[in-house]
Amino acid sequence: MSFYDLLDRNPGLKNTLRWMLTPRGQARPRLWVKLFLNPFFIKRGKGSRIRRRTRIDILPGKYLKLGQYSTIEDFTTINNGVGTVRIGHHTRVGIGSVIIGPVSIGNNVRLAQHVVLSGLNHNYEDVQVPISEQGVQTSDIYIGDGTWIGANAIVLPGIFIGKHCVVAAGSVVTKDIPSYTVVAGNPARVMKTYDRESKQWIRNRTT
């Protein structure tokens, strides 16, 4: 039996451990977690940078994996409470962005300012119970190599974005995006796709 199976079978122990890691009603881990546990659950590649004014909420059991020569800029929040966050090589997470795992970001990706990637959704079905007490569901977000996501864009749980895509500023991505595609809007719609035969970006006639 794994440690996590043991916790699932002992709600009291699970609640005690949760209280030790985070104050009741809060998402940010206690200071001792940051000082003594985070070094074991943050995996950083050569030349990677996490700017000083970031909020890195890392809890045991999940990881933050940051690739070589990648940067997490100031005022960004990374939260792995319900899923590991993986960031590839030569990738930059822009100022003020929010990443809530489970999220996987490829190599040479650019996230502009205030981008939100959240692999988490709150349960809400039982109207007799506050939403905050109904738990959460998670679904992985994947961002392919070479993609650029514009400022203030939002990517919802479970979304796959392929290689070399462009997500325009302010877009809300609610559906998967194939590789070599430009999308924009709320909800995001396809604006252009790359045609390999003509080697040109072709505008979508229906937009």
**Do β-strands 77-79 and 55-57 pair in parallel, antiparallel, or remain unpaired?**
parallel
Asked whether the beta carbons of 60 and 84 are under 8 A apart, the reply is no
Catalytic site includes residue 122: yes
Q: Which two tokens stand for residue 84?
A: 């590991």
Q: Which residue in the list 89, 90, 114, 122 is annotated as catalytic?
A: 122
Residue 150, C-beta contacts closer than 8 angstroms, at least 6 positions apart: 112, 115, 166, 167, 168, 169, 170, 171
Q: Which residues are catalytic?
A: 122
